[in-house]
Structure 1
Amino acid sequence: MEHPDHPFSELFEQLGLASEPEAIKRFIDRNSPIPEGVELPDAACWNEGQSEFLREAIEADADWAEVVDHLDASLRKP
């Protein structure tokens, strides 16, 4: 089964966050790097619903998994 591609901005919309390129950049700049050993859904920048969505996307290898991996990598860069 093929997974649909979701743009990075669509993930931010799904999380209830501003999805314009500058807003995404500000969010990443403000919240990175996530401390080593902290899983993406457990980062302090998420509310409970956002954390649950991210956890489900990763665990289910859902169609969001690839873009969630991109977000994880983006938030780990110093």
Structure 2
Amino acid sequence: MDTTPQDLSHLFEQLGIDNSAPNIDKFIGDHKIPNNVLLCQADFWNESQKSFLKEAIEEDAQWSEVIDHLDTLIRK
């Protein structure tokens, strides 16, 4: 069983993005998506990141709650 904490910092680490608090804030501020676009379809993700996000939500995996939180933060 994976015991990695499920928070934004660790989600960004999973996605291969600098997970420092200032970078997370900047990323959320710089990347906004409209309500009609799924988070995993946003054009700023690479294919691997898109797959991770899509699969985690579809499978209601351990990351899904944190991904939902990021989704809320990143909406216009």
TM-based fold match above 0.5: yes
> Equivalent residue for 1:20?
20
The percent of aligned pairs where both chains have the same amino acid is 48
Matching residue of 2:53: 54
Note if contact 1:5-1:63 (Cα within 8 Å) is conserved in structure 2: no
Q: Note the aligned Cα RMSD (angstroms).
A: 1.2
Q: Show CA shifts across 1:25-76 (max 9, x none).
A: 01000001x1121000001110000000000010000000000001100101
User: Counterpart of 2:30?
Assistant: 30
Spell out structure 1 runs of 4+ moving beyond 6 A: none
TM-score of the superposed pair, with normalisation by structure 2: 0.91
What are the ranges of 5 or more consecutive residues in structure 1 without an aligned counterpart?
Answer: none
State the aligned residue count: 73
TM-score, normalising length: structure 1 = 0.88
